[in-house]
Chain A
Amino acid sequence: MHRDSERHKLFSRRAVMLSGGKAVLLSTLVGRMYYLQVIEADRYRTLADENRINLRLLAPLRGRIVDRFGDPVADNQQNYRALLISENTRDLDYTLDMLNQIIAIGPSERKRIIREVKRNRNFVPVTVRKNLNWQEVSKIEVNAPDLPGIFIDVGQSRNYLYGQEMGHILGYVASVSPGDATGDPLLELPGFRIGKAGVEKTHDLALRGSSGSSQVEVNAFGRVIRELNRQEGQPGAEVTLTIDLGLQSMVSQRLAGESAAVVVVDVKTGDVLSMVSTPGYDPNAFNRGLKSSEWHDLVSNPMAPLTNKAIAGRYSPGSTFKMAVLLAALEKGVITPSSMVFCKGYTQLGNAKFHCWKKHGHGNVDAKMAITQSCDVYFYEIAKRTGIDRIAVMAKRLGLGAKLGIDLPGEKAGLMPTKRWKRGALDAPWHQGETLIAGIGQGYVLTTPLQLAIMTARLTNGGVAVTPRLTKALGGDVVNPDGKPTGGFENLNLPKAHLDLVVEAMSDVVNSPYGTARKSRIKDTTHAMGGKTGTVQVRRISKAEREVGVIKNKDLPWKERDHALFVGFAPVHEPQYAISVVVEHGGGGSSVAAPIARDILIEAQRRGSARSGNVVGQRSVGPKDKVEQG
């Protein structure tokens, strides 16, 4: 009994010690809990949210592109895909067999589907077929009960309504390539497309819009449990072009079959009303994906359908350059408008003979006559007197030989040679003979059709340095306020008398009996046009050939025929439209290019292409009730 109570005491002491030890251990648990749940709580809360919340981007709808009157030229089309969720099928093979009766699934496609199904978790949709047509969609929908696991998904794809006519202006959209990544998370969305050429590229950011996002809760296996939060994105802005779609279509048709470029601008605003380069390409084909044979055809075509010749084609301006030479000479004072130059069919410089296009010469010509009849000898003479550097300065002022900054990618500068340029680029001194050649717009001088159209606009709008623009409004905000057409442009400070002389001479080219383009005159005098022809040799005419007689264009292979050029404007009494026409290897400027310009200028005036049109989203500020009271 006594021994036992001693044992009991020892037991009690030890039991208390043991319990104390347990209490200490339990306290460490509380301490650990405090550390995890209070001190580190924020970190773990973030980690838990990272576990369960997935941020999914919602692609915004790409902005439409419309012409100056609001007619859509690029919009988005619903695009149907068939997807398969394997957990909803009873038997994958059964579903695929059934689907095969509606849309044929080849053995290799079937293998791909089964492989993708196996690779993904069973709730992840796998694409069975893209770009379903409406008939296929309705068949699948009708047979839905027999197709467990199959469902139709609607996406958006870019659609160009006037692909062939507008291709070069619009460009196209395509998948993001590694070089495009600019940090926008949208670019990482699978299947997201960005502008790769044309306006689609220039205004890609505006057209793209901003992404929305959807926060979804997912479980440990990645299955979406519910949507927690959704922020809709901002759809892309609508781009309003300066192009008049009606005129554009007409021009495209007029140029069909030729390798040619036409630019029509509003002389007062620089609005590009039409810009066509033929042959064109259909950007829709790029969206669908080109077959390699199609791609090969595009690339190997000698008429270069992928190049927008209107801004990237570089041509000797030929006689269309003569206005610039004349203005340079007048400004330098080496001639007056009435100074006479005698043309005997050629001029001699040292040992070299420089021929006029008219073998037996024009006789005595003054400035106006020289333009009207395009006398080469006159321009050899005044170019020699003026010097290449002064000509280059004038040409640049008129918009030639340098980029004009149109809002399209791929614009080329052309070339306006100077003595310094030749020394730098070719490491050779300038020869005077080259000045003579430049005086008739050949030799080193290279211009784009866009530059020629802008030059014509500047010549006929009173010497205002308009620049071309293709975008009239972005998301409804007018890019360059209308109403003040020339307000923002610099004046070239060319004497009015000189400009009037040039305009009159250009009018005579078409409308006088001696003019080189008189066959293309517009008989209705209120809509009459003026202009200047140009015919550019692309081959060298040998002395021997010249003596026997120059071979006619129609007898030459296509590649060796002359380029036909024409720059023009209308109406003569109050110029509104300026045009440049280049037909590659088309033959004579007067016989080929001038009639095209005539037809287009008639159409532009008939349509009133330069009307300001309705800018979508532009709100009238005047209160409505006032109008009603009035």
Chain B
Amino acid sequence: MSEDTLNQPDLSIGKKFLHIHWFFVLLICLTAGVGVAMLYSAANGSMDPWASRQAARFGVGLVVMILVALVDVRIWMRYAYALYMITLVLLVLVEISGTIGMGAQRWISLGYFNLQPSELMKITLVLALARYFHGGSIEDVDRPTYLIIPLLMIALPSALVLRQPDLGTTLMLVMASGAIFFVAGIRIWKFAAVLLSGIAAMPVAWQFLRDYQKQRVLTFLNPESDPLGAGYHIIQSKIALGSGGMLGKGFMQGTQGHLRFLPEMQTDFIFTMLAEEFGMMGGIGLLGLYGLILVYGVALSLRCRNQFGRLLGMGVTTTFFLYVFINIAMVMGLIPVVGVPLPLISYGGTAMMTLLIGFGLLMSVWVHRDVMIGRRGGDEV
């Protein structure tokens, strides 16, 4: 270990700033740039109403991301549980007095913006789990009783979010947590057992789904059964994608999107529009960009010398992956429509902020990669 890295705990703000992985930031900016361009196209070649606002939000988010990155990773660890608890309380508050919108109670109005605790939970749950598993040895992790607390940490917010009801977010919370369990070293047979019992419990779970959620699943299984109703989105999305072909119809030339056959093209179905206008090449290009971000996310996490940072990094990366996969698989008709936006591209502030805070944490992990943290939280020298 070099002299320099050993001195890391005492890095000045300026040094930290330089240590930010700027290429990674560039990748994020590039992706957001693609998003702004697509929103420009979605508005028929206009910065209004989406592209300009999205760019402004990204600017704010970028600043937040840098600020988060500059905060010492140990501080994040110290307040991980507290942040988790606050988010959980907010979720309960939403449950009690949330504004009714879109048939689901999801946000708290804070004047300037609407706070969506379920989005925040995607980050704070990762923080809390990372902190929990940071404190556990390999032997601890093998003990089933050791897993009761983290399972409760997942179950509480998941149940609240499912009640909202928000199936997409619930899935993301569970799956991101599963990934953290996985990299934390839980035995693989345990995952298999959970998976199998999950499949066995599916008929029971079906009873708990709301009618519209059942409808989405049924429609997914056979979209042509209701071409003008619930199946319309998936069918039109596939038509848009397919008609884009290899090279696409050209920027702002997508007929499906611009003639409004494609629903919600500025939000959940923006990937469809991109693939219609830029074809499979455009789609692969964007996937490549996402792939690079994921690769760097993993690489940055692996390089970290403390378990908290590694788990946090993988957790954030996995959350990001889930956004990408669920959204794209959804618009291509591979999974039911669950209302997950395309990260950094879909119009909307909440997911953008969640992701940028997440990336800020990942960056903080990277900046403070050589910090040693003891299992009880203190510096391990």
Q: List 16 A-B contacts (CB under 8 A).
A: A7-B307, A8-B310, A10-B185, A18-B183, A22-B321, A25-B325, A30-B284, A32-B332, A37-B279, A41-B243, A44-B240, A44-B241, A48-B255, A52-B255, A219-B261, A225-B259
Q: How far is the CB of B132 from chain A (nearest CB, A)?
A: 14
Closest chain B residue to A6, Cβ basis: B138
Contacts A52-B255, A217-B255; A15 near B302 (Cβ below 8 A): yes
- A window 1-36: CB within 8 A of B: 1, 3-4, 6-8, 10-12, 14-15, 17-19, 22-23, 25-26, 28-30, 32-34, 36
Q: How far is the CA of A473 from the CA of B261 in the complex (A)?
A: 52
Chain A residue contacts of B15, Cβ below 8 A: none
Contacts A11-B310, A15-B301, A22-B321; A47 near B291 (Cβ below 8 A): no
- B46: interface (CB < 8 Å): no
- A141: interface (CB < 8 Å): no
Q: How far is the CA of A10 from the CA of B258 in the complex (A)?
A: 50
> Do the beta carbons of A38 and B137 come within 8 Å of each other?
no
> Do the beta carbons of B294 and A36 come within 8 Å of each other?
no
Q: How far is the CB of A356 from chain B (nearest CB, A)?
A: 85
Q: How far is the CB of A129 from chain B (nearest CB, A)?
A: 33
- B34: interface (CB < 8 Å): no
> Do the beta carbons of A44 and B314 come within 8 Å of each other?
no
Contacts A18-B318, A33-B284; A28 near B334 (Cβ below 8 A): yes
> Do the beta carbons of B334 and A32 come within 8 Å of each other?
yes
Q: How far is the CA of A30 from the CA of B279 in the complex (A)?
A: 12
Q: How far is the CB of B247 from chain A (nearest CB, A)?
A: 9
> Do the beta carbons of A37 and B245 come within 8 Å of each other?
yes
> Do the beta carbons of B185 and A14 come within 8 Å of each other?
yes
Q: How far is the CB of A520 from chain B (nearest CB, A)?
A: 77
Q: How far is the CB of B229 from chain A (nearest CB, A)?
A: 14
Closest chain B residue to A46, Cβ basis: B243
- B256: interface (CB < 8 Å): yes
Chain A residue contacts of B196, Cβ below 8 A: none
> Do the beta carbons of A36 and B242 come within 8 Å of each other?
yes
Closest chain A residue to B294, Cβ basis: A22
Q: How far is the CB of A47 from chain B (nearest CB, A)?
A: 5
Closest chain B residue to A17, Cβ basis: B182
- A45: interface (CB < 8 Å): yes
Residues of B within 8 A of A (CB): 137-138, 179, 182-185, 236, 238-246, 255-256, 258-261, 275, 279-280, 283-284, 287, 290-291, 294-295, 298, 301-302, 305, 307, 310-311, 314, 318, 321, 324-325, 328-329, 332, 334, 380
- A window 183-221: CB within 8 A of B: 217-221
- A40: interface (CB < 8 Å): yes
Contacts between chains A and B (CB distance < 8 A), count? 137
The residue among A38, A48, A225 with the most chain B CB atoms within 10 A of its own CB is A48
Given A47-B243, A52-B259, 4 extra CB contacts under 8 A: A22-B294, A25-B325, A37-B244, A44-B242
Interface of A is mostly: helix
Q: How far is the CA of A217 from the CA of B256 in the complex (A)?
A: 11
A interface size (C-beta, 8 A): 43
Interface of B is mostly: helix
Chain B residue contacts of A12, Cβ below 8 A: 302
Q: How far is the CA of A29 from the CA of B240 in the complex (A)?
A: 16
Chain A residue contacts of B137, Cβ below 8 A: 3, 7
Q: How far is the CA of A179 from the CA of B138 in the complex (A)?
A: 86
> Do the beta carbons of B138 and A10 come within 8 Å of each other?
yes
> Do the beta carbons of B242 and A219 come within 8 Å of each other?
no
Q: How far is the CB of A528 from chain B (nearest CB, A)?
A: 79
Chain B residue contacts of A614, Cβ below 8 A: none
Closest chain A residue to B237, Cβ basis: A36
> Do the beta carbons of B325 and A47 come within 8 Å of each other?
no
Q: How far is the CA of A219 from the CA of B298 in the complex (A)?
A: 44
> Do the beta carbons of B183 and A14 come within 8 Å of each other?
yes
Q: Which of A19, A28, A41, A51 contacts B259 (CB under 8 A)?
A: A51
Q: How far is the CA of A362 from the CA of B126 in the complex (A)?
A: 132
Q: How far is the CA of A30 from the CA of B290 in the complex (A)?
A: 13
Q: Which 9 A-B pairs have the closest CB atoms?
A: A44-B242, A48-B243, A219-B259, A37-B280, A41-B245, A220-B260, A14-B183, A45-B243, A44-B243
Q: Which of A3, A28, A51 contacts B256 (CB under 8 A)?
A: A51
Q: How far is the CA of A391 from the CA of B379 in the complex (A)?
A: 134
Chain A residue contacts of B258, Cβ below 8 A: 219
Q: How far is the CA of A211 from the CA of B82 in the complex (A)?
A: 75
Q: How far is the CB of B365 from chain A (nearest CB, A)?
A: 13
> Do the beta carbons of B241 and A37 come within 8 Å of each other?
yes
Q: How far is the CA of A220 from the CA of B235 in the complex (A)?
A: 13
> Do the beta carbons of A4 and B307 come within 8 Å of each other?
yes
Q: How far is the CA of A37 from the CA of B247 in the complex (A)?
A: 9
Q: Which of A14, A37, A217 contacts B275 (CB under 8 A)?
A: A37
> Do the beta carbons of B238 and A36 come within 8 Å of each other?
yes
Q: How far is the CA of A44 from the CA of B332 in the complex (A)?
A: 13
Q: Which of A15, A40, A49, A51 contacts B298 (CB under 8 A)?
A: A15
- A43: interface (CB < 8 Å): yes
Q: Which of A10, A18, A44, A217 contacts B238 (CB under 8 A)?
A: A44
Q: How far is the CA of A616 from the CA of B307 in the complex (A)?
A: 98
Chain B residue contacts of A29, Cβ below 8 A: 287, 325, 328-329, 332, 334
Chain B residue contacts of A10, Cβ below 8 A: 138, 185
Closest chain A residue to B183, Cβ basis: A14
Q: How far is the CA of A352 from the CA of B332 in the complex (A)?
A: 99
> Do the beta carbons of A33 and B325 come within 8 Å of each other?
no
> Do the beta carbons of A43 and B334 come within 8 Å of each other?
no
For A434-465 the 0/1 string (1 means CB < 8 A from B) is: 00000000000000000000000000000000
Q: How far is the CB of B325 from chain A (nearest CB, A)?
A: 5
- A window 26-85: CB within 8 A of B: 26, 28-30, 32-34, 36-38, 40-41, 43-45, 47-49, 51-52
